[in-house]
Amino acid sequence: MHPMLNIAVRAARSAGSVIARGFENVDDLQIQQKGENDFVTKIDKEAEQAIIEKIKQSYPDHTFIGEEGGIVEGDDTFKWIIDPLDGTTNFIKGIPHFAVSIALLYKGRLDQAVVFDPLRGELFTAGRGQGAQLNGHRIRASQAKELGSTVLATAFPFKAKDTLDTYMKSFTEIFSQSGDIRRGGSAALDLAYVAAGRFDGYWERGIKPWDIAAGELLVRESGGLVTDFAGGNDPMLSGEIVAGSPRVVQALVKKLK
């Protein structure tokens, strides 16, 4: 395992311990509202701090971009993009579906990635050019060639409900031609599941870099394709993502353009 990926795994497990303990005491959460349908708890903040502290022990000069803490300036050659608890609403409601997401950008390119589900003990990892793994075993994305019989994943525009009409038009068309669609509430896990072949494809609009950075590398390294709604190759910049088998992504992009 790459040394920096090894450190990221340790950091993810450290945050996972914080999250698992917090999940046992959800009635004691301190919940704040950041925006419409957008929440943060003390566990999000504690988990992010645990990640940064663990990585800083080995790489004190790196830059950190966290969902809760913003940017911690450092050497821009190495940028860690962190979502300490992706799926906070699930966590608050006691729904056991959330994850830690950590990605490393090296000279502007995704280089290492970890998505860790602390309740199921599932550790998804990837290194650029090294493939993707689940608990140390190689995983591969679906090779589905058409939408029929696929199981897809998406997310509803809960932070921008004024876009619901547009979303529902594309959703209806995609749903009518696919096997089924899931909505789990964690972009990091949705992408990890695409990398593992559990989902054949996934799309979402209005996402942030920390939501998808690690998952994007997981999908690419598992043989999947990742684009934005226009077929571009930088979803972290556009805030839109389509991921899955190459043929499924092409079909989804055609309907989302």
CB count in 10 Å sphere of residue 208: 14
Which residue, among 252, 197, 251, has the nearest Cα to 223 in the 3D structure?
A: 197
Evaluate whether 214 touches 102 at the Cβ level (below 8 Å): yes
Q: What is the pLDDT of residue 40?
A: 73
Q: Say if residue 64 is in the same domain as residue 112.
A: yes
The verdict on residue 146 lying in a domain is no
Mean pLDDT of the chain: 93
Q: Say if residue 101 is in the same domain as residue 203.
A: no
Sequence-separated (6 or more) residues with CB below 8 Å from residue 134: 122, 123, 124, 192, 196
Which CATH number goes with the domain that contains 201?
Answer: 3.40.190.80
Q: Say if residue 126 is in the same domain as residue 158.
A: no
Q: Say if residue 112 is in the same domain as residue 33.
A: yes
Q: Tell me which residue range forms the domain holding 134.
A: 3-138
Residue-wise pLDDT for 163-218, tens only, equals 788 889 999 999 999 999 999 999 999 999 999 999 999 999 989 999 999 999 99
The verdict on residue 79 lying in a domain is yes
Q: What is the pLDDT of residue 137?
A: 98
Sequence-separated (6 or more) residues with CB below 8 Å from residue 145: 245, 247, 248
The verdict on residue 132 lying in a domain is yes
The pair of structure tokens assigned to 98 is: 């959330």
Q: What is the pLDDT of residue 33?
A: 66
Question: Which stretches of the chain are assigned E, i.e. beta strand?
Answer: 31-35, 38-41, 62-66, 70-72, 75-86, 99-106, 109-117, 122-127, 131-134, 137-138, 151-154, 180-182, 201-205, 225-227, 240-244
Q: What is the pLDDT of residue 35?
A: 57
Residue-wise pLDDT for 150-164, tens only, equals 999 999 877 778 778
Evaluate whether 79 touches 62 at the Cβ level (below 8 Å): yes
The verdict on residue 145 lying in a domain is no
Considering only 26-30, 61-65, 155-159, which range has the smallest mean pLDDT? 26-30
Please report which confidence band the pLDDT of residue 39 belongs to, taking 50, 70 and 90 as the band edges. low
Residue-wise pLDDT for 71-116, tens only, equals 888 999 999 999 999 999 999 999 999 999 999 999 999 999 999 9
Q: State mean pLDDT over 4-8.
A: 98
Query: How many domains is the chain partitioned into structurally?
Result: 2
- In Å, how far are 72, 74, 104, 236, 252 from 66, measured between CA atoms? 8, 13, 12, 14, 30
Which CATH number goes with the domain that contains 62?
Answer: 3.30.540.10
